[in-house]
Structure 1
Amino acid sequence: MNEISISRRHLLRAGGLGAGALALGGLGEVGGGQAEAATTFSKGADVSWVPQMEAKGYSWLNSGGVKEDILTILKGYGMSAVRLRTWVNPSSDPANGHCSISETAAMAVRVKDAGMDVNIDYHFGDTWNSVGVQNPPAAWASMTYFEMLSAMYTYVYHTMNVIKANGVTPRWVQIGNEINSGICHPIGSVSNPAQMTGLLNAAHDMVKEVFPSTNVMIHLAQPQNCSSMTTFFDAFAGHGGTWDWNGFSSYGSAAYAAGIVANMAEISNAYSKPFMQVEFGGAVTKATSTEDALQAYLKALVANGGQGLLYWEPEVMTPFDTYDMGAWDSATYEPTAALNGFSAV
């Protein structure tokens, strides 16, 4: 499929402006895209830093002090899924760059060969996008909405085909990372709901074009903030947004886990979507507290019908990066007690 045929086939679906985004059925689209209702609980991690860390000479020991492949160690804790981020035109910076689609695809092959499920996490930027920042890739920054729409179709279609050419079928694809405020600001901001929905529907449609059975996920942060989630879904669903699963980031303590997961369930049940927690972490220096929090989230997820939990970058060690919510001891190269929390489910 070339760029011209993409545009002809999907222009009406992608939104136009204003009410045009409802042209394919408006709210009828909300329940129409579900690819899979999960039957097993998925435990896993985002380990997107692994290729860069290995290139810098890092390796990992298991809890017995024996060097093993990082995926083998994670599987030993019962993990069955790995999330991998990808950026559009990333820099070569070890911590804040890399993660091009070619690097992501190579890592996805390793994950598949390890017998684990793959979650591809689009950031739709050249570096980190999160709940507080949603910058478009530099090459898209001066585009009009319709130019960006065409770029989105082409980018997602191409990158999904790169993954496919490497023999990997993702179980999930996140169309954006912590997108409470939308994507590719200001064009795709939640305050421009028709345009935001058009861009996200373009991404959804190209994932499905290449992988019809893959679950397309919307990923929001801070589920303790119900109003933020409601604002997003009112805008997205109200303008004909189509998606399969919800994913949430939460780094709260054990004391707050039950309430936070209940919020995840409430917003997901309102749209009849399976949901999972796609980011979790806790202070590496407080491994016992982090283990308790992990157990609390896992138990709350199971109790509320959640379908999984992914730990964010547990393998990180200093001095590769100063991120202090991993689960590896930088002195011993062994995992901390935090990962023992996975035994709760």
Structure 2
Amino acid sequence: MKRVGLFLLCTLFLLVTSCGKKMQSAERVSDSAKAQISVEPVQGLSEDFMRGVDISMVAEIEKLGGAYYDENGKSADVFQILKKHGVNWVRLRLWNNPVNDYNVVEGGVTISKKGDPVGGGNNSIDVDIALAKRAKKAGLKILLDFHYSDFWADPEKQKKPQEWKNLSGDALCEAVEDFTKTTLQKFYKAGVCPDMVQIGNETNNGMLWPDGKINPVTKTDVDIGGMDGFIKLLKSASRGVRTAGTWGTDIKIIIHLADGGKNALYRTIFDAVTAAQVDFNIIGLSFYPYWHGAFDDLTANMKDLRSRYGKDMVVVENAYAYTWDDGDNTGNMFSLYSDEAHGYIPSVQGQATEVRDCIAAVSSVDGGLGMFYWEPAWIPVDGAGWRTGENSAWDNQAMFDFYGNVLPSLSVFNLVYGRGQVQNVWGGSASSVQSFEPYKSSESVKLLVMPGQVPPLPQKAKVVFTDDSERLVPVTWDEHDWKSETEDKTVTIYGTTQEGFRVTCVVELSSIVNLLKDPSFESGTLDEWTLDGSPVLFYACEDKGNAHSGTWAYHYWDNGAFNGTLSKTFTGLENGMYTFSAWSEGGGGENALYLFAKNYGASEVLTVDVVDTGWQVWKKYELHIPVTNGQATVGFVVDGIAGNWGNFDDVMFYKEK
């Protein structure tokens, strides 16, 4: 896992008296730590179900001044806090030699030099052994995650360690086997032998590129090892585990892919791996709902994997946000998960519910051993970032607030058994309940039909329940005489769910004909438009949290200065007055952001400035265009500075009455 925080943590002073050291108390606390949440127990959950967390950043965070506080507001060892709240496993990523092999330059500025620690936890063997000792002391089991790289390895990059850059073929396989073996021997000698290991991290397209790269990605990928190269490396890694000592046969081996709902991907990889008789025990999956979809997709994939290969399975990465806030003013990578039938509010309650549902999904499948939450302790501490010289974008997905105070959501690992109720000193709490009720609509239902036409009211509506989950539920709509509606107007119709909750649907009756075929970009393309700009920066984006309606919108963003124009020319128009309109939301602050119209029969370019003021603060902007030559060109201009982002949606171009 690696995709891109940090609010400077308040300085903590160790109070010393003549009697010795006193326990530190939290000096600041967020509203999130005061949340009162509830969790539905998971029926029949095994006591040995793996309730794990990836805790790889902890050493670096503590080194840079970070600290953790329990529900009493007292500083405590983070591993003890985790254990008390129901965690029974920890996962540690391992890099071969986590130092820069070149100067890292961004925007013309060197942010870290060759030979500096890479950042991201700097998880060397020594760092991980020290963390493993603390985990074992707390009574936690250990999953060691070999990346076989000096830095992040994931589906987008699998770079060889610098020491192995000139190795290939048998020599590289020998290096992999030897490194795996000697690493485990060091852990064993230190008294912290891992209970489980991953041989590679998110290896969708292999590892140790190019030797272990399965499929070409660019035109330069002409000399890659393919599936055979990947399998040879997996076998070498597996031998390293088994030959580390007589105890090596007891260590469970995971082969790990991302995209846990993509069954075709998993079949492709594991058909080949099992046919080659690679020695492994467990299939590892990453599953983040906002990237990978609904838990239904995860369980469907897991059931097929169990039936097809007979292997046990573990979700080794999962996470969700507890807030939209940013602890370090550098932005968060989180995006809202909300599809047509499911979703979670980014809140302490929503975070706990997402984890609970992940546990329920995995445990419902035969062979589903457990799940790991990714980096719940990555709080914002200056310097503890994705790499040296940068910050994190993960702080709003931790299970401690920005000041290190444990959140009620961490108690989910106990509450799934109906135990471990918590009341903290700030008024926050966590408890178990058996059911939840709807309390608000997830989104307003909007329809557009001609006057006199009966609207296709949906049979179900999505509402938010008190566990901050979004669910699609049946609805019965009130009666209305639609055929008697003969004028353009807006009608609000009400419906009732089975729980007695009232929902609304706004029906716009309009005789206006929109000349745009795909006004909400639901095709997922900009094919109806002409883009003068980079398609990497300007594109149709699928993200319901950033769509005014539907799930797609026209999106722009970059981490440097950028500009672009999206336009469309209409010809064969009947002369007269036309309206060009669009809904917009975004962060604001661009050099220029506006709608325009030109070539409509006059030399003047008509414009209307767009002023965005925040996420989901949608505003409608429109131009009125006097067409006299049977044509018009309309569009959007963005002249942005680093970090600007925004979305346009529900665009209209029509002839006024």
Whether TM-score is above 0.5 comes out as yes
Q: Are residues 1:234 and 2:280 paired?
A: no
**2:622 — aligned with what?**
none
Query: CA 1:328/1:94 → structure 2, altered by over 3 Å: closer, same or farther?
Result: farther
Q: Are the aligned partners of 1:130 and 1:178 in contact in 2 as well (CA < 8 Å)?
A: yes
Query: CA 1:258/1:66 → structure 2, altered by over 3 Å: closer, same or farther?
Result: farther
Q: Are the aligned partners of 1:190 and 1:232 in contact in 2 as well (CA < 8 Å)?
A: no
CA distance in 2, matches of 1:278, 1:39: 18
**1:130 — aligned with what?**
154
Instruction: Out of 62-71 and 43-52, give the one that drifted further.
Output: 62-71
CA distance in 2, matches of 1:82, 1:96: 17
Q: Are residues 1:322 and 2:393 paired?
A: yes
Segments of structure 1 that go 5 or more residues without pairing to the other structure are: 1-37
Q: Are residues 1:274 and 2:298 paired?
A: no
Segments of structure 2 that go 5 or more residues without pairing to the other structure are: 1-45, 100-115, 216-225, 324-345, 385-391, 418-657
How far 1:265 sits from its partner (Å)? 3.2
Cα deviation digits, residues 265-302 of structure 1 (max 9, x gap): 32233211111111111113122222111111111111
Q: Are residues 1:203 and 2:237 paired?
A: yes
How far 1:117 sits from its partner (Å)? 0.5
1:110-149 matches, within 5 Å, as: 110-149=134-173
**2:416 — aligned with what?**
344
Q: Are residues 1:309 and 2:371 paired?
A: yes
Between Structure 1 and Structure 2, the one with more helix by share is: 1
Q: Are the aligned partners of 1:49 and 1:95 in contact in 2 as well (CA < 8 Å)?
A: no
Q: Are the aligned partners of 1:108 and 1:168 in contact in 2 as well (CA < 8 Å)?
A: yes
Q: Are the aligned partners of 1:188 and 1:195 in contact in 2 as well (CA < 8 Å)?
A: yes
Q: Are the aligned partners of 1:258 and 1:297 in contact in 2 as well (CA < 8 Å)?
A: no
Amino acid at match of 2:237: A
How far 1:115 sits from its partner (Å)? 1.1
1:44-193 matches, within 5 Å, as: 44-91=52-99, 92-93=116-117, 95-96=119-120, 98-191=122-215, 192-193=226-227
Bigger-Rg structure (1/2): 2
**1:18 — aligned with what?**
none
Q: Are the aligned partners of 1:89 and 1:137 in contact in 2 as well (CA < 8 Å)?
A: yes
Q: Are residues 1:248 and 2:254 paired?
A: no
Amino acid at match of 1:202: S
How far 1:198 sits from its partner (Å)? 1.1
How far 1:97 sits from its partner (Å)? 5.2
Amino acid at match of 1:265: K
Query: CA 1:72/1:39 → structure 2, altered by over 3 Å: closer, same or farther?
Result: closer
- Secondary structure, counterpart of 1:300 in structure 2: helix
Instruction: Out of 252-261 and 220-229, give the one that drifted further.
Output: 252-261
CA distance in 2, matches of 1:186, 1:269: 32
CA distance in 2, matches of 1:97, 1:251: 21
Cα deviation digits, residues 233-255 of structure 1 (max 9, x gap): 12322333221111111111698
Amino acid at match of 2:355: L
How far 1:94 sits from its partner (Å)? 6.7
- Secondary structure, counterpart of 2:250 in structure 1: coil
How far 1:228 sits from its partner (Å)? 1.5
- Secondary structure, counterpart of 1:128 in structure 2: coil
| Stretches of 4+ aligned residues off by more than 6 angstroms | none
Q: Are the aligned partners of 1:258 and 1:296 in contact in 2 as well (CA < 8 Å)?
A: no
Q: Are the aligned partners of 1:90 and 1:97 in contact in 2 as well (CA < 8 Å)?
A: no
Q: Are residues 1:335 and 2:406 paired?
A: yes
How far 1:338 sits from its partner (Å)? 3.0
Query: CA 1:94/1:283 → structure 2, altered by over 3 Å: closer, same or farther?
Result: farther
Aligned equivalent of 2:297, options 231, 245, 259: 259
Query: CA 1:255/1:234 → structure 2, altered by over 3 Å: closer, same or farther?
Result: closer
CA distance in 1, matches of 2:251, 2:284: 14
Q: Are the aligned partners of 1:182 and 1:232 in contact in 2 as well (CA < 8 Å)?
A: no
CA distance in 1, matches of 2:131, 2:364: 33
CA distance in 1, matches of 2:285, 2:163: 28
The percent identity for this pair of structures is: 28
Amino acid at match of 2:168: T
Amino acid at match of 2:233: L
Q: Are the aligned partners of 1:121 and 1:174 in contact in 2 as well (CA < 8 Å)?
A: yes
How far 1:39 sits from its partner (Å)? 8.1
CA distance in 2, matches of 1:63, 1:117: 24
- Secondary structure, counterpart of 1:329 in structure 2: coil
Between Structure 1 and Structure 2, the one with more strand by share is: 2
Query: CA 1:137/1:94 → structure 2, altered by over 3 Å: closer, same or farther?
Result: closer
Cα deviation digits, residues 133-188 of structure 1 (max 9, x gap): 11111222222211111111211111111111101221110001111111101101
CA distance in 2, matches of 1:156, 1:116: 22
Q: TM-score with structure 2 length normalisation? A: 0.45
Cα deviation digits, residues 316-340 of structure 1 (max 9, x gap): 1113333242221104x21234323
Q: Are the aligned partners of 1:282 and 1:325 in contact in 2 as well (CA < 8 Å)?
A: yes
Instruction: Out of 106-115 and 74-83, give the one that drifted further.
Output: 106-115
Query: CA 1:44/1:68 → structure 2, altered by over 3 Å: closer, same or farther?
Result: same
Q: Are the aligned partners of 1:218 and 1:243 in contact in 2 as well (CA < 8 Å)?
A: yes
Q: Are the aligned partners of 1:121 and 1:175 in contact in 2 as well (CA < 8 Å)?
A: yes
Q: TM-score with structure 1 length normalisation? A: 0.84
CA distance in 1, matches of 2:293, 2:176: 41
Q: Are the aligned partners of 1:197 and 1:240 in contact in 2 as well (CA < 8 Å)?
A: no
CA distance in 1, matches of 2:178, 2:83: 35
- Secondary structure, counterpart of 1:61 in structure 2: coil
Q: Are the aligned partners of 2:54 and 2:90 in contact in 1 as well (CA < 8 Å)?
A: yes
How far 1:219 sits from its partner (Å)? 1.0
Amino acid at match of 2:405: E
Amino acid at match of 2:398: G
CA distance in 2, matches of 1:244, 1:46: 20
